[in-house]
Amino acid sequence: MSDNDHLRKYSSQVVDGIERAPGRAMLRAVGFTDEDFKKPQIGIASTWAMVTPCNMHIDKLALEAEKGANAAGAKGVIFNTITISDGIANGTEGMKYSLVSREVIADSIEVVAGCEGFDGLVTVGGCDKNMPGCLIGMARLNRPSIFVYGGTIRPGAGHTDIISVFEAVGQQARGDINEIQVKQIEEVAIPGPGSCGGMYTANTMASAIEALGMSLPGSSSQDAVGSDKASDSFRAGQQVMELLKLDLKPRDIMTREAFENAIRVVIALAGSTNAVLHLLAMSHAVDVELTLDDFVELGKVSPVVADLRPSGKYMMSELVAIGGIQPLMKRMLDAGMLHGDVLTVTGKTLAENLADVADYPAGQDVILPFDRPVKKDSHLVVLRGNLAPSGAVAKITGKEGLRFDGTARVYHGEEGALAGILNGEVQAGDVIVIRYEGPKGGPGMREMLSPTSAVMGKGLGKDVALITDGRFSGGSHGFVVGHITPEAFEGGPIALIEDGDRITIDAETRQITVQVSDAELAERKTRWVRPESQYKRGVLAKYAKTVSSASEGAVTDKYL
């Protein structure tokens, strides 16, 4: 008998007893010893790949987590899952695989850990979809687990980042810069490893996961390169052993109150609209009821205080330099904005974790005081109306105004809209409508980063709005509304809009309406024909058949 036998609930089923000799033989070939068979096994899911700078360094972080697990008396076992690159795929057909990858990642972590009998998990993610994918996988398994964020990229020369390149394309189309200048920005904007540098989706989700209690304090606010991130990974490997001893699992941590904390931190940071989609999906994985209405109610009492890109001035690395999100969370806790009694992966409560956190240094203006916010309430605005009966999500900081009236300019898909913006077809006063890009209709719910960046680059950021049943990159800004449900492929009202229809978007009344009578919309519906999908086999076809609506998190196991 081993002192650790009570911690080996799953691995013992794989390696104990004479009948498990074949399995042990296989494991000896990958380095297991007799002593290792007596230890709890910690699976370490690495999203390392050379397809994107966000994840190119994660193999080294996974090795640190393995060392930490081994140092704590467990046996660390590294395995890989996939990642894709939104920054590379955006604006192409390949982007249809992006949101799908979240489900593939969650499925693959569940499959490997479930099959191999890991007693606990460390997952290491560094890009938009692999972070919620990791959390969903860990939540389904409900074994002691910690998430490690791969860290943020450092700014490129001239304070540039990937959004600088996307917007340069629009600037070139407008005639403000030439192709050589675009190439100069392209060459310096991505200086090395790490996730996109503003409060885009990766940094948003890392912050949300830390606020949720599923990563170690500080994990979300570290540069991808440097000793802090290596130490974070090592300590995560060690800490899973402590979670095993405490029998503290994701469902103990990912409670309703913890999700409320995550939502309020995302709002304070002016985070990505994708956080709505992913938090809904993550809550579904642990059977916590969360709806769009919860974002509305919490948004009424949650100010935006971070002056971070894309709508603000600073990058994540500059927030890292002044202490990350821990001082912000301490401020929020002291102001009664967070639930302090929720458990976290430290084994302590959030309040205990924050007890000794120092405030930001004097003179910084990355994080503003609550009495002088960027916006007094949430920038994540849930809209409803005859154009989005089941809801839509807008990202409106107030810098682009709070209301937009315009005439519809309709495109079936992202490519046509991008061409229309770049060639001058889109004019001031237009509401660009991009449809058949929803979870089912795309399929895959592509991000509209190329069109929104082109709008900004063309200087139309305050003069046009863009609405879609697709979604947006965390790098998108301007007057944009996504996640419109029901989506066009399901015959939602967005499928019935025609060029020239008058559309009103009002962030204060939270309404999005098309000025067309119910009778006219009903008549148009009789003429509507669902387009036939070109995808008949493979992952996109399976996804389209099983995915729920964006207002439900676009998950693939809701109606099984």
Sheet order of strands, 145-149 included: 75-80, 41-46, 120-125, 145-149
DSSP 346: T
Torsion sign (Cα): 367, 372, 378, 383: negative
Other CB atoms within 10 Å distance of the CB of residue 539: 16
Residues in the chain: 560
Distance CA 218, CA 246 (A): 22
* 218 DSSP assignment: T
Neighbours of 527 (CB within 10 A): 7
CA distance 532 to 223: 45
Q: What type of residue is 280?
A: L
Residue 96 three-state SS? helix
3-state secondary structure of 240: helix
432 close to 465: Cβ distance less than 8 angstroms: yes
CA–CA distance from 411 to each of 95, 418, 432, 455, 498 (Å)?
18, 9, 8, 15, 10
Pairing of β 145-149 and β 388-395: unpaired
> Using N-to-C axis directions, what is the helix angle for 538-546 and 98-116, rounded to 10°?
90
Q: Is position 473 annotated as part of the catalytic site?
A: yes
Residue of 12, 317, 453, 473 marked active site: 473
By the 8 A CB rule, do 24 and 32 touch? yes
* Distance (Å, whole) CA 391 – CA 511: 9
What is the phi/psi pair of residue 130, to 5°?
-75, -20
> What gap in Å lies between CA 559 and CA 130, rounded to an integer?
23
Q: Do 469 and 492 meet the contact criterion of CB atoms below 8 Å apart?
A: yes
The span from the CA of 198 to the CA of 309, in Å, is: 5
How many whole angstroms separate alpha carbon 473 and alpha carbon 470?
Answer: 10
Instruction: State the CB neighbour count (10 A cutoff) for residue 227.
Output: 9
Q: CB of 194 within 8 A of CB of 225?
A: yes
Half-sphere CA count of 389, side-chain side, radius 13 A:
11
Active site residues per annotation = 473
